[in-house]
A and B are shown apart, each in its own frame.
Chain A
Amino acid sequence: MQKTRWTALAVLMLGACSPQNGEQNDAQDGGGEAASAAQQKPADADSDNGPVRPPLDPYPSTYAPYQGETVLITGATVLTGTGERIDNGSVLIENGKIAAVGAGDAVSAPEGARTVNARGKWITPGVIDIHSHLGDYPSPSNQSTSDGNEVVSPNTAYVWAEHSIWPQDAGFTRALAGGVTSMQVLPGSANLFGGRSVVIKNVPARSVQGMKFPNAPYGLKMACGENPKRVYGDRGGPGTRMGNFAGYRSAWIEAEAYKKKWDDYWSAHEEWADDDSDDKGDAPEAPSRDLKLETLAGVLNGDIRINMHCYRADEMVQVLDMAKEFNYQVTTFHHAIEAYKVADYLAENDVCAAVWADWWGFKLEAYDTVGENAALVHAQPGGCAIIHSDSATGIQRLNQEAAKAIADGRRAGIDIAPKDAIAWITANPAKAMGVLDHTGTLEAGKMADIVVWNQNPFSVYAKADKVFIDGALMYDRDDPARSPRMDFEIGQRDNGFTGGAGQ
């Protein structure tokens, strides 16, 4: 029995309850860019005795887009992700970027461009899942591959999800067939501080570095409520929600001290460098590094985005006070089942709510689901709703999950048009993850991350016909050669392939 249930429970109890991450503020998008610029700096002192600066991304992205054609897709219904719908619209892809988006006759094909007639089809930005465990809890699911939760201490801010990602997870291929072009992979939710998340592009590679979204900011996964207290209740604590909070706050106090130590060191170093006297002595000594505190201090510095798994309304409100107490921003509450009860607080505090359409009842803190959750969050002025999956099957149908949430909202008198709701699975997660400047909408100059759907995507019958990532056609439903198949699925049956995208 243990064996049988292990998979389901691991995902449900820890996966489902686990990660959070993502950010959403425009202000923080800027911060993300700044951080990524800093990430490119050398980790260590310059030859001229510059100060020690711990590397922000010592495992940098090696992702390089694949070659695409210059393609003009015409005649489609285009949802741009910016709130615009263009009937009989055209999208021009050139050099991996979106070159133009507009009404049919407003966009013309440059010489040598291939033109694709997409009459009757719909085009949206690539789908983005802000909450995935692909690679960390891959298929097949067993003890050997279970790498999503470092269940050894309530604070494992020192772990990085990317170090667990198995790029050969077949789940990536299935998600691709669902139109997913980028995602955030998070550690699980057993711990108060689960560790760093990573943003990846859904393009297979031999290493996770080959998938990392270039210059995307990092996230930190935190967890409210039942999971940490259940996991650590008989292992030294926390065993209560008040214990959870004490754990967070103690860690932030420690992180503040750590941050100050480094800030002081850099100031001292600057003073020392500016000192022209002959007897200024040796350069100040750098503090020792601490992986856990480095991540937490990264949050306080605004470089790392908080993704907090939090089901209950009252806990979200307390977390927002804690963020004020320690002067950081919560980007997104994940699994925010009760977001609708405090949708006004969330909007005022510029926090996104990432939710499921209708999951409920697997834990007491997931009891109060309403299908109108996303719509109610969206309806607040400045509200930011995201539909997330936390599931290797759910990620394949985020469009359907959004469709259910639209329909429930409409029946409750909250009429949200497809052109707006598409942002729940594209622009909003992109904003929260700090990559909106690059993807998440169909705007000239952005990465050509695009899905061509066989029909209105907010339908159970919708399927992704073509998925472009950075302008390269990575999936074509009608062309088996355009379907990735992971190593694990080679030769399992009759020396052929099983699986693949669209399986």
Chain B
Amino acid sequence: MKKLTAFAAAGAALFAAAAPASAQTIAIMDGTVHTVSGGVIENGDVIIRDGRIAQVGADLSAPQGASVIDATGKIITPGLFAPYGNLGLVEISAVGDSNDTAPSGDFPLGAALDAADAFNPQSTLIPVNRAGGVTRAVSAPAAGGTLFGGKAAVVDLSGRPNSITRSDAAQIAVMGYGGAARSGDTRLGAWAVLREYLDEARSYQNNPNDYVRRPHSGRFALSDVKALGPVVSGEQPLFVEVNSAVGIRTLIKLKNAYRLRVVIVGASEGWRVADDIASANIPVILDPLANLPSQFEDLDSTLENAARLHAAGVAIGFYNQPGFGAHNLRLMTQQAGNAVAHGLPHAAALAAITRNPAQMLGLGDQLGTLEAGKIADVVIWDGDPLEVTTEPEAVFINGRPQDLGNRQKMLLERYRDLSRGDAPFAYRGGE
């Protein structure tokens, strides 16, 4: 073997300095601080106290008794926030008993399903993504037989039992081709069914007693109709998967007619209608690597989608297209870096993976930037966070230093030396 030296993790060394996990006050000193709210502070300091950011600035003094981290030469950013995925609802995608992401097509409920009921903070996906700097995520159920996935939760990646930041934080709907597949195989059907749901939900909101007493078709489950209440009242964002330019235009009309809070997911042709989206004040969660005419509804996909939407004034965030909605949320940084390579300003890319998702979920006053008073989700990086060769050296969630180990790193340690040894591989790591 070549050069199999001892595993010397810089992060581990950093942590020794940060010490005890229960530390109440942490002073991260002399790093390059990307606040994502007020620019970049060279030789900047971030003081964390009681789970919140106490101070951000240059030339601050570490409070008495604080654990001091020397971040010289390091980059400090807010924790990454994944705005769309199904973290905590799936372990192995193809193993049914470990996958709660979507009900089967014949299951009658949709909007009523609540991610918070099954979100598993002990999922092994959480430490893997946490080691990549992800501190918050939207855990969203995906649509099964109905147009709706259900109630999404905002969670932190601490792995603690109480890691749900906000349940029922957003409702998920699928339109476009996915909606058509659930609505008689046309997009016309999907829009008609969506309107019907919204009308029913309004009707229920206006007079619940009357609604449940009156004879109605019973086409929709009552619990689904109830679940859409916060959507039709405009309190809760409705995440709508839609890709084509025409689909987005129709959605904007619907948003205006029903006065909804909408977040678009997908928008592979979003740049075609960027001004309309911006005028309608709709944020967009997109996959910046989607550049193939995979379906007829995204013929105009381009790597410049993110840059063009941003230039038009649209707030953007990133997600992985279906298939990687939980395991590799950590690749947000690579997505952001590629968006930069194709025209998105670096600062806007960083905002897309920190501040913007927090704002989309109505948590912009609590999370997403490094500002005094906010929840202390902070990452210290060994270089440009958007570069594929960098990684976090320390991660803080709610002001607590996080363990950056995970089962992948344990497997590495077990198998890095393949010599037979004194005992089978199965005994390694238990020392």
Evaluate contact between B334 and A400: CB separation under 8 angstroms.
yes
With contact pairs A4-B174, A371-B408, A489-B293 given, residues A460 and B418 touching in the complex (Cβ less than 8 Å):
no
CB nearest neighbor in A for B10:
A411
A499 CB within 8 Å of chain B: yes
With contact pairs A376-B416, A463-B341, A498-B299 given, residues A12 and B323 touching in the complex (Cβ less than 8 Å):
yes
B427 CB within 8 Å of chain A: no
A141 CB within 8 Å of chain B: yes
Please report the C-alpha to C-alpha distance between residue A3 and residue B408 in the assembled complex, in whole angstroms.
Answer: 34
Evaluate contact between A362 and B181: CB separation under 8 angstroms.
no
Stretch at the interface among A239-247, A263-271, A337-345: A337-345
A481 CB within 8 Å of chain B: no
CB distance from A299 to the nearest CB of B (A): 29
Evaluate contact between B327 and A361: CB separation under 8 angstroms.
yes
Question: Which residue in A170, A367, A406, A407 is a CB contact (below 8 Å) of B391?
Answer: A407
Q: Which residues of B in the span 312-333 have a Cβ within 8 Å of any Cβ on A?
A: 321-324, 326-328, 331
- In the complex, the number of residue pairs spanning A and B with C-beta atoms less than 8 Å apart equals 184
- Residue from B94, B95, B300 whose CB has the most chain A CB atoms within 10 Å: B94
Please report the C-alpha to C-alpha distance between residue A25 and residue B287 in the assembled complex, in whole angstroms.
Answer: 39
A431 CB within 8 Å of chain B: no
Q: Which residues of A contact B327 (CB under 8 A)?
A: 359-362
Question: Which residue in B8, B174, B292 is a CB contact (below 8 Å) of A139?
Answer: B292
Q: Which residues of B in the span 270-315 have a Cβ within 8 Å of any Cβ on A?
A: 289-296, 299-303
B63 CB within 8 Å of chain A: no
With contact pairs A139-B294, A359-B328, A498-B293 given, residues A368 and B323 touching in the complex (Cβ less than 8 Å):
no
| Binary flags per residue of B1-34, CB closer than 8 Å to A gives 1, else 0 | 1111111110000000000000000000000000
A393 CB within 8 Å of chain B: yes
CB distance from B107 to the nearest CB of A (A): 10
Evaluate contact between A140 and B294: CB separation under 8 angstroms.
yes
CB distance from B346 to the nearest CB of A (A): 10
CB nearest neighbor in B for A6:
B181
Evaluate contact between A379 and B4: CB separation under 8 angstroms.
yes
CB distance from B60 to the nearest CB of A (A): 30
Q: Which residues of A contact B388 (CB under 8 A)?
A: 400, 403-404, 407, 458-460
CB nearest neighbor in B for A11:
B323
With contact pairs A140-B296, A364-B92 given, residues A370 and B411 touching in the complex (Cβ less than 8 Å):
yes
Please report the C-alpha to C-alpha distance between residue A11 and residue B387 in the assembled complex, in whole angstroms.
Answer: 27
Evaluate contact between A503 and B303: CB separation under 8 angstroms.
yes
CB distance from A420 to the nearest CB of B (A): 10
Q: Which residues of A contact B378 (CB under 8 A)?
A: none
Decide if the interface of chain A is mainly helix, strand, loop or mixed.
loop
Please report the C-alpha to C-alpha distance between residue A406 and residue B181 in the assembled complex, in whole angstroms.
Answer: 42
Please report the C-alpha to C-alpha distance between residue A181 and residue B96 in the assembled complex, in whole angstroms.
Answer: 40
Evaluate contact between B178 and A460: CB separation under 8 angstroms.
no
Q: Which residues of A in the span 448-503 have a Cβ within 8 Å of any Cβ on B?
A: 458-463, 488-489, 492-493, 498-499, 502-503
With contact pairs A170-B292, A372-B412 given, residues A3 and B5 touching in the complex (Cβ less than 8 Å):
no
Q: Which residues of B in the span 62-98 have a Cβ within 8 Å of any Cβ on A?
A: 90-95
Evaluate contact between A406 and B389: CB separation under 8 angstroms.
yes
With contact pairs A362-B327, A460-B387 given, residues A492 and B299 touching in the complex (Cβ less than 8 Å):
yes
Please report the C-alpha to C-alpha distance between residue A387 and residue B366 in the assembled complex, in whole angstroms.
Answer: 41
Question: Which residue in B9, B94, B144, B341 is a CB contact (below 8 Å) of A13?
Answer: B94
| Binary flags per residue of B166-188, CB closer than 8 Å to A gives 1, else 0 | 00000000100110111001000
CB distance from B235 to the nearest CB of A (A): 28
B208 CB within 8 Å of chain A: no
Evaluate contact between A8 and B9: CB separation under 8 angstroms.
no
Evaluate contact between A460 and B290: CB separation under 8 angstroms.
no
User: What is the number of residues of chain B that contact chain A, defined by CB distance less than 8 Å?
Assistant: 70
A7 CB within 8 Å of chain B: yes
Q: Which residues of B contact A393 (CB under 8 A)?
A: 289-292
Evaluate contact between A3 and B301: CB separation under 8 angstroms.
no
With contact pairs A1-B182, A4-B177, A461-B337 given, residues A174 and B291 touching in the complex (Cβ less than 8 Å):
yes
Q: Which residues of A contact B369 (CB under 8 A)?
A: none
Evaluate contact between B389 and A412: CB separation under 8 angstroms.
no
User: What is the number of residues of chain A that contact chain B, defined by CB distance less than 8 Å?
Assistant: 70
A96 CB within 8 Å of chain B: no
Please report the C-alpha to C-alpha distance between residue A462 and residue B386 in the assembled complex, in whole angstroms.
Answer: 13
Q: Which residues of A contact B8 (CB under 8 A)?
A: 413
B125 CB within 8 Å of chain A: yes
Q: Which residues of A contact B293 (CB under 8 A)?
A: 139-140, 170, 488-489, 492, 498-499
B108 CB within 8 Å of chain A: no
Evaluate contact between A362 and B174: CB separation under 8 angstroms.
no
A369 CB within 8 Å of chain B: yes
Q: Which residues of B contact A397 (CB under 8 A)?
A: 289, 338
A123 CB within 8 Å of chain B: no
Q: Which residues of B contact A414 (CB under 8 A)?
A: 2-4
Evaluate contact between B295 and A140: CB separation under 8 angstroms.
yes
CB distance from A496 to the nearest CB of B (A): 11
Evaluate contact between B337 and A460: CB separation under 8 angstroms.
yes
Evaluate contact between B338 and A412: CB separation under 8 angstroms.
no
Q: Which residues of B contact A503 (CB under 8 A)?
A: 291, 301-303
Q: Which residues of B contact A9 (CB under 8 A)?
A: 323
Evaluate contact between B94 and A362: CB separation under 8 angstroms.
yes
Please report the C-alpha to C-alpha distance between residue A5 and residue B94 in the assembled complex, in whole angstroms.
Answer: 13
| Binary flags per residue of A162-203, CB closer than 8 Å to B gives 1, else 0 | 000000001100100000000000000000000000000000
Q: Which residues of B contact A174 (CB under 8 A)?
A: 291-292
| Binary flags per residue of A131-173, CB closer than 8 Å to B gives 1, else 0 | 0000000011110000000000000000000000000001100
A442 CB within 8 Å of chain B: no
Q: Which residues of A contact B409 (CB under 8 A)?
A: 370
B154 CB within 8 Å of chain A: no
Q: Which residues of B contact A360 (CB under 8 A)?
A: 128, 327-328, 408
B340 CB within 8 Å of chain A: yes
CB distance from B101 to the nearest CB of A (A): 10
Q: Which residues of B contact A378 (CB under 8 A)?
A: 2
Evaluate contact between A370 and B408: CB separation under 8 angstroms.
yes
Evaluate contact between A369 and B408: CB separation under 8 angstroms.
yes
A-B contact pairs, 18 of them (CB 8 A): A4-B178, A4-B181, A139-B292, A139-B294, A140-B296, A226-B94, A358-B331, A361-B125, A367-B92, A376-B415, A403-B389, A406-B389, A411-B9, A413-B6, A413-B7, A459-B387, A460-B388, A493-B299
A-B contact sample (18 more), CB < 8 A, given A7-B322, A360-B327, A360-B328: A5-B322, A139-B294, A140-B293, A342-B418, A358-B331, A361-B91, A363-B94, A364-B92, A396-B291, A397-B338, A413-B3, A460-B338, A461-B337, A461-B387, A489-B299, A492-B293, A498-B293, A503-B303
The 7 A-B residue pairs with the shortest CB-CB distance in the complex, in nearest-first order:
A460-B337, A3-B181, A4-B178, A413-B5, A407-B389, A8-B322, A361-B327
- Residues on A lying within 8 angstroms of B by beta carbon are 1-5, 7-9, 11-13, 139-142, 170-171, 174, 226, 340-344, 358-364, 367-372, 376, 378-381, 392-393, 396-397, 400, 403-404, 406-407, 411-415, 458-463, 488-489, 492-493, 498-499, 502-503
- Residues on B lying within 8 angstroms of A by beta carbon are 1-9, 90-95, 102, 104-105, 125, 128, 143-145, 174, 177-178, 180-182, 185, 289-296, 299-303, 321-324, 326-328, 331, 334, 337-338, 340-341, 386-391, 408-409, 411-412, 415-416, 418, 425
